[in-house]
Amino acid sequence: MTRRPAASAPGRTVAFEDHQKIGVEKWVARRADRRPGVARDRLGGSAAANRDAVHRLAFGGNPTRTTGRRFGSPASGYNRAGDHQRNDLPLPSPDLKQITAQTLAYYNQRAEEFRDGTKNHDVRQNIDALLRHIPGLPPFTILDLGCGPGRDLKVFASLGHRPVGVDGAERFAQMARDETGCEVWQQDFLRLDLPDAYFCGIFANASLFHVPSAELPRVLRQLHASLKPDGVLFCSNPRGDNVEGWNGERYGAYHDLERWREYLTDAGFVELEHYYRPTGLPREQQPWLASVWRKPAP
């Protein structure tokens, strides 16, 4: 695998529209917002009953048929107190393989549909939030983690930067190469192979929520290692009440700000800013949590 990004890449500025909408994820986030009035009432029971209640709130249906894990529950392998220990019941590796395979199959099977449905999504606010914190003079070497069909690679290239894409879905990786001329590495988030201290910034737009919580600390440490000192990580994810599991054919983990901060801080990052999207709406109508982090120089 050649790691050096293309010196220059053709690109054009895309027209941006409204925020990204992913139906059930948005719904999960909205349900989480109602937690004080609904979920807490239901969470007074046994650990198993609580897990089932959370599952119904987040994913609906029968918890025995799909997996919904609450972080900090005995089934999650994650300690509620914030210790990122893979203690009692971490996800066994066959589960992880299935999570990756099934989630990527979902995207591969809908690659054109996804590209057409998201090509005009307006994420310029997020791109700007990453770029304004990167120190030094451009152009910057930027990793677009989970680049999908390449919409944002094209924007970074059009701004004169040196973007490199990573995506696990074969069809997205090829599409992104074809549409942007950028270098795109096909890699699984759970088996990343990234150069050390190489990137000025990492743009993880709507991608890290696909990493199961048991693996998130390790993945975040890898991203941290691949950033130059003072490099910046941007993340935007559908937020939730710290639940994870199958959302249709995709696996998702939905964190709140407090828990997300614990993960990022434990991985060595320092918070720069956070905000909710779309801008200007009441919080319960802002399903996306965007946050920006620095890898401090030693």
Ligand X SMILES: C[S@@+](CC[C@H](N)C(=O)[O-])C[C@H]1O[C@@H](n2cnc3c(N)ncnc32)[C@H](O)[C@@H]1O
- Closest by alpha carbon to 71, among 81, 61, 62, 57? 81
Smallest distance, ligand X to C-beta of residue 15, A: 15
Smallest distance, ligand X to C-beta of residue 166, A: 7
DSSP secondary structure code for residue 230 in this structure: E
From candidates 71, 156, 172, 288, binder to ligand X by CB under 6 A: 172
- 190 binds ligand X per the rule CB under 6 A: yes
Separation of alpha carbons 148 and 14, rounded Å:
15
- The window from 9-17, 57-65, 202-210, 226-234 that contacts ligand X (CB under 6 A) reads 202-210
Please state, in angstroms and as integers, the Cα–Cα distance from residue 223 to each residue in 27, 232, 234, following that order. Answer: 29, 10, 11
How many residues lie near ligand X (CB under 6 A)? Answer: 20
- The window from 60-68, 81-89, 188-196, 219-227 that contacts ligand X (CB under 6 A) reads 188-196
From candidates 103, 213, 247, 291, binder to ligand X by CB under 6 A: 103
Pull the structure tokens for residue 191. 């088996």
162-167's contacts with Cβ under 8 Å and 24+ in sequence apart are 162/5, 162/6, 162/7, 162/8, 162/9, 163/5, 163/9, 164/5, 164/199, 166/192, 166/194
C-beta closer to ligand X: residue 42 or 275: 275
C-beta closer to ligand X: residue 39 or 141: 141
Structural contact between residues 146 and 166, judged by C-beta atoms closer than 8 angstroms: yes
- 107 binds ligand X per the rule CB under 6 A: yes
β-strand partners of 275 = 290
- 207 binds ligand X per the rule CB under 6 A: yes
Residue 36 CA neighbour count, 13 Å, CB half: 2
Binding mask 58-97 for ligand X (x = CB under 6 A): ----------------------------------------
Please state, in angstroms and as integers, the Cα–Cα distance from residue 78 to each residue in 85, 94, 100, following that order. Answer: 6, 18, 20
Residues 109-168 that bind ligand X (CB under 6 A): 118, 146-148, 151, 167-168
* Residue ranges in contact with ligand X by CB under 6 A: 100, 103-104, 107, 118, 146-148, 151, 167-169, 172, 188-190, 205-207, 210
